[in-house]
A = this chain, B = another copy of it.
């Protein structure tokens, strides 16, 4: 008897033109286009194993009892919820295939066991829903044999039902999410803008900022912005459409100066709309702002010396900074960040070492732009780079499986 199982990975993505606001909260249709950079799965990824088996329960025996374990903890799959919506759509497509080819095993009629693990700790402060739902969609599509007939953009629509930004994690490199126009969401999907190989020296430094406060969830926050912010309407109608085109151009031309200006402007524009919400939403804190001051001053001093800027910052729905830096400049940026925000936990896969004191900097750099912060204000640094799209690790229950032979998590 063969085991019907697949194991795949999917990457994290960080938007440089932000998604904020839904025009349809059930189908997860956004109010504007967005564009992201995929991070390298060698460093940050979700791995998911999905198995279908008659012994797990069948449609004929009553309602299906799919089960999911996330980082070792079993989660409840809420009927009609986002996960359920993704699985229902994948199952529907599988059922169509089974109808067309009755020789196929009736996987669509069997319950699923799903096991998913992030290789980055929750403490990394990264949203895991994008890589998580992308890995889920890719893995179940692989299990169901849909990958030959279902394009990645089609698959992105299914991932989107789980978490909007997950649709961008079904591709590698630079990825756009076209908001689409249709009410049923059929044209709201991810499309590749450029492969990772197009701009391979684009590296990323994630600065995980210490923050004791409870944040506002992005799901509830973005709808409050849609309902109350007059500025968001301007962002949606005027700012983003123009910025998307300029961002595509900057990426095509590997124009780091333009990429930096657009990325920082869009991060600030997004947080401005959060602040314009009633009641206002604040994701950046004083440490986030100090990082902005340092990077802006670095960029100013570089431009003052006739050079390109050195780093683009962007902030998602939290206080952590994500910096885009070219490989050649990373040791400088790292040295500066570690000087002003000392004692961050850091284990660099690229083996960069941080020396004490500031690195060589352009002469006009004002070293007193912010004070040296208390130890641990930035509590962790993660160095990665632009990466590829989801990977199929194996079919069947082999060395990569997260499920044991009985269909239970190997680790818990």
Interface residues of A (CB under 8 A from B): 212-213, 228, 230-231, 233-235, 238-239, 261, 264-265, 268-269, 271-273, 275-280, 282, 285-286, 289, 292, 296, 300, 370-371
Contacts and interface: CB of A to CB of B under 8 A. Distances in A.
Question: Which of A238, A289, A371 is most buried by chain B, counting CB atoms within 10 A of its CB?
Answer: A289
A371 B213 CA distance: 9
B279 A289 contact: no
A277 B292 CA distance: 12
A378 to B, nearest CB: 15
Contact of A239 (B231, B264, B371): B231
A315 to B, nearest CB: 11
A276 B285 contact: no
A18 to B, nearest CB: 13
Question: Which of A233, A265, A273, A276 is most buried by chain B, counting CB atoms within 10 A of its CB?
Answer: A276
Nearest to A277: B268
Protomer copies = 2
Contact of A230 (B213, B234, B285): B234
Interface of A is mostly: helix
Nearest to A212: B371
Contacts of A289: 282, 285
A285 to B, nearest CB: 6
28 contacts: A213-B370, A228-B265, A230-B234, A230-B235, A230-B238, A230-B269, A231-B231, A231-B234, A231-B276, A234-B234, A264-B278, A264-B279, A265-B276, A268-B277, A268-B280, A269-B276, A271-B275, A272-B272, A272-B273, A272-B275, A272-B276, A275-B275, A279-B296, A280-B292, A280-B296, A282-B292, A285-B289, A286-B286
Contacts of A261: 278
Given A280-B292, A285-B286, A296-B279, A272 B212 contact: no
